[in-house]
Each structure stands twice: as structure tokens, then as C-alpha cells.
Chains A and B, each alone.
Chain A
Amino acid sequence: MEDLWAYRGLLLQGTLTTITLALSGLVVAVALGLLGAWGKLGGSRAGLRAANAYTTIVRSIPDICMMLLLYFGGQTLLNNIGQWTGLWDYIEINQFVAGTITIGIIFGAYMTETFRGAYQSIPKGQFEAATAIGMTPVQSFRIITLPQLMGYAIPSLGVNWMVLLKTTALVSIIGLQDVVWYALSAGRTTRNPFTFFLAVMVIYLILTFISELVLRWLERRYTVGRRPAGA
């Protein structure tokens, strides 16, 4: 216990890194997910093919492989390209960036399915009504589609977020100092690894619990319009 108290600052710092990484990964994932859903539903054949290839490939690669490949392989690839073209000198990919990109790419594929499903749940009449009162496609998307899309997407988005949060633990393997990384090194120094990993599990459970509360609140907020009148 004294060990945990002695390392509280580092564990807290690691937890903040975990949260920041998860949130930045989520932003990339949502952006890629919207793009992927647009590819799947946009009606263009090339878009559909590209989006299908994206989701299929991501689903068949373990997350940790993708992370190692992007971090170590991506670095070499970038520098080889720089060397051939002479456009840039040595570049070092930062672990945080590699982690964000990996998590974004992986969960972008799951978000693609989330947004595709959510879009298809919006009643067709909504779009027809928007056209009927003279909205442009952009207006219709911004005012009619997007707010409802979020409402339908939140349950599945929430599940993805929970998995994403746990996936962030993998960045400790490429050396990013997240909560798992600090626990591993503190456990080695103090020779009490069990204590520190138990603490990390509790930290993740607290984060999961907070996420559940936030998601419940978001779901209520975004489905206000769907509740029957008077309820």
C-alpha cells in the first residue's frame, strides 16, 4: 500500500495519458468511421469497395500487430521514402502519434459499421420531408441527419468506446508512458507487481464506470426527440 501511495503521482500521470490517448483515438476513429460509412452508403462503387476493403482488413489484423507494424515498420517506411525522394531527413514517429493513429484506424472500422447502421435506422420519411420543405442536401445532412445519427449511433459507439479504452493499454508495449507502463516499471522497482497491476485494473474499472454514466446521459440527451409525447 505504501508503494502505491509513493507512486500515486506517476500512476495519475499515466492515467491522464491513457485518457488523452483514448480521446484522441476516438476523434480519429469517429472521423474515419463517418468517412467509411459515407463510402459504404454514398452510392459510388469505388467508395464501397474501398470502405469494404478497409473494414475487412482491419478486422483480420490483431490490434497489437497493427500497432507494432505502424510504429516500427511505419518509421522505416517513412524514412525510406524520405531517403528515396530526398524530401525529408530522418523522422521519428512519436509513440503518442503512433498510438492515436493505430487506435483511430482500428476503431474507425468498427465505427464505420456503427454509423452505417445508425444512418439506416433513420426513417426515410425524414429525408423526404427535408427535401419537401426545400432543404438543400447540406442543410438536410446538418439539421436532420447528423443529430439523429448520433442518437442511433450512441449505443454501439459506447460499446466501441469501452473496447477502445482497454485497447489503449497496448501502447505501453511501444513505450508510451501510460498507466500500464508506469505500473510495470513501478512493479519492477518495488518488487510488488501484483499491487500495481491490481491498482491499474481498479483504475480501468473506474474509467469504465464513468464512461457508462456519461454514455447514459448522452443517450438520453440525443434521443429526446424520439421519446413519445407526454412520456
Chain B
Amino acid sequence: MNPDVETDPVADFFTALAEFSETSAPLDFVLIAQNWELFYNGLLNTLSLVFLALAIGMVLALPMAIIKAERMPIGSQLVTAFVYVFRGTPLLVQAYIIYYGLAQFEFIRDSVFWPYLREPWWCALIAFSINSAAYQVEIYRGGIDAVPRGEVEAATAIGMSRWGALRHIILPSAIRRCFPMWGNETIFLLHGTAIASTITVIDILGAGRQLNARYYLAYEGFITATIIYMILIFLLTRVLIRVEKHLMKHMGEENLVKPAGKVLVT
């Protein structure tokens, strides 16, 4: 080895990687690394869609859950119908009906909302928010129903109004209780947002598809996108489990509302 030549391990690594990519690797790492910005923007799009849709879904779902849990006439039937329709149909079709479908009506094309409804990102956000709201309604309603009667009776006994009890006793207790299912819904929604790429949003998968299209690749883009999703879901699961443990410290296991069916966080 020549001591006069400075060796830079980082540069060496990249030279080796480039050589490996060009000769023997099934994936072109250099090409992916060169397009990191595409995936970074995709990541930002996915994250903003997930968190905004969750938040909007929550705002929409809480009043509906209260209406349903309180068994208000007409209102609770309407909520049930809303939940049935949006949980019973594919998210893909919901995204299509908003992005492709709404343009069918002239009054929508003439309305003030058209600049937003024309944009795929906004359409995706609307679709995911409504869909998530439908799932969150059932989660919160389950949480409200699971609040022990004694807590509600105690609130009434000390003279709280129905609304006061709801705000100070029932909802805080219910929301903690349904956290495991809410975490489940977060991961479910993260999976679901990959659908945004079908209505031309450049999210993580959209970035992968664009990379494939630009360089005529078969799978590099998909694999990169898949790996990013896997890392995201792994990290998110850790965070959710930690928060859940923190929230549930004072509660026994048996008081939680257990997720049914598509269990993602265990």
C-alpha cells in the first residue's frame, strides 16, 4: 500500500458501490441514490397525507361517534349509513370517484372548490380523510361504550351535566382506551395512502413508479418504495407501542378495547 496516497473510506465505499451496482447487483443503487430527492419529496407527501387525513378524520369522527354512542334518533342512523358505505367500499374507488368522478358535474367545475378538486393531492386528502373518519367513528364509539358505567354515574352524582361528563370524564377515558385501535388505524392508513400514486400523486410509491418510468426499470423503484414503507412502519410501530405503554400504565390489560380483525400492532 502506498502511504503517500490519502485513502478516503467514504469515497472508496461509493466507488465500490458503483462498481457493484453496474456489474453484479440486481439493483442499481447509484441510480436510486442519485434520485434521492424524488423519494424524499414522496416521503414528505406520504407523511403529510397520513397525518392530515388522520387529524381531519378525527375531527369528523368524534362528533359522529358521540351521536352514535348517544343513540340520537336519525343522526345515529345517518352515521351508521356513512360508516357502512365508506368501510364497505374500496379506498381506491373512493379516490377515483373524487378525482375522476367529480369533474363530471358542471356545477363542481364552476364552483370555488374546483382549483382544489382539480389537484390530485387534495383529492387524495379528501378521500383518505373521509375513509379514515369512517373507521375512526367505530373506534371512538367502541371506546365510549367501554367506559365503565360507574364513571358516568359518579360524574352525574357530583352534579355534572351530560355534556360536562362527556367532555371531562367519558371522552378522555374513551380516547385513552381506544389508543391501540387508533394506532392500528394509523398504520392501516399509511398502507392505504400508497393508493395516492394511482391518482398521480408523487408519494413514496409514486416516486418509485416515476423512477421506473423514467429509466425503463422493472422493479428498482418499487423495491426502494417498499423498503421506505417498511422502515416507516417499523418506526411507527415502535413509537405507537411506546406511547400505548405510557398511556396505559394505570390500566389493566382487560380494560382496553381490543382491535378485531386486521390487527397490525401487537
Contacts and interface: CB of A to CB of B under 8 A. Distances in A.
Contact of A73 (B96, B218, B264): B218
Interface of B is mostly: helix
B104 A194 contact: yes
A62 B96 contact: no
A220 to B, nearest CB: 19
A180 B89 CA distance: 11
A155 B260 CA distance: 9
Contact of B93 (A59, A162, A200): A200
B93 A180 contact: yes
A193 B102 CA distance: 8
Chain A interface size band reads 35 or more
A17 interface: no
Contact-size category for B:
35 or more
Nearest to A191: B104
Nearest to A184: B96
B107 to A, nearest CB: 12
> Quick one: which of B102, B104, B193, B260 has the most chain A CB within 10 A?
B104
Interface in A61-75: 61-66, 68-69, 72-73, 75
Nearest to B225: A65
A24 interface: no
A60 B105 CA distance: 39
A64 B46 CA distance: 14
Contacts, number: 131
A193 B85 contact: no
B229 interface: yes
A143 interface: no
Contacts of B218: 72-73, 75-76
Interface string A72-103: 11011100100000000000000000000000
Interface in A36-73: 57, 59-66, 68-69, 72-73
B102 A194 contact: yes
B90 A169 contact: yes
A60 B195 contact: no
A163 B264 CA distance: 13
Interface of B: 26, 84-85, 88-94, 96-97, 100-105, 187, 190-195, 197-198, 205, 208-209, 212, 218-219, 222-223, 225-226, 229-230, 233-234, 260-264
17 contacts: A60-B233, A62-B192, A68-B222, A69-B222, A69-B223, A72-B212, A80-B26, A163-B262, A169-B92, A169-B93, A180-B90, A180-B96, A194-B100, A195-B104, A197-B93, A204-B89, A205-B85
Given A110-B262, A159-B262, 4 more contacts: A65-B229, A194-B101, A194-B102, A197-B96
The 9 closest A-B pairs by CB, nearest first: A159-B261, A73-B219, A194-B101, A169-B90, A62-B194, A197-B97, A76-B218, A194-B104, A166-B90
Interface of A: 57, 59-66, 68-69, 72-73, 75-77, 80, 110, 113, 155-156, 159-160, 162-163, 166-170, 172-173, 180, 183-184, 187, 191-195, 197-198, 200-201, 204-205, 208
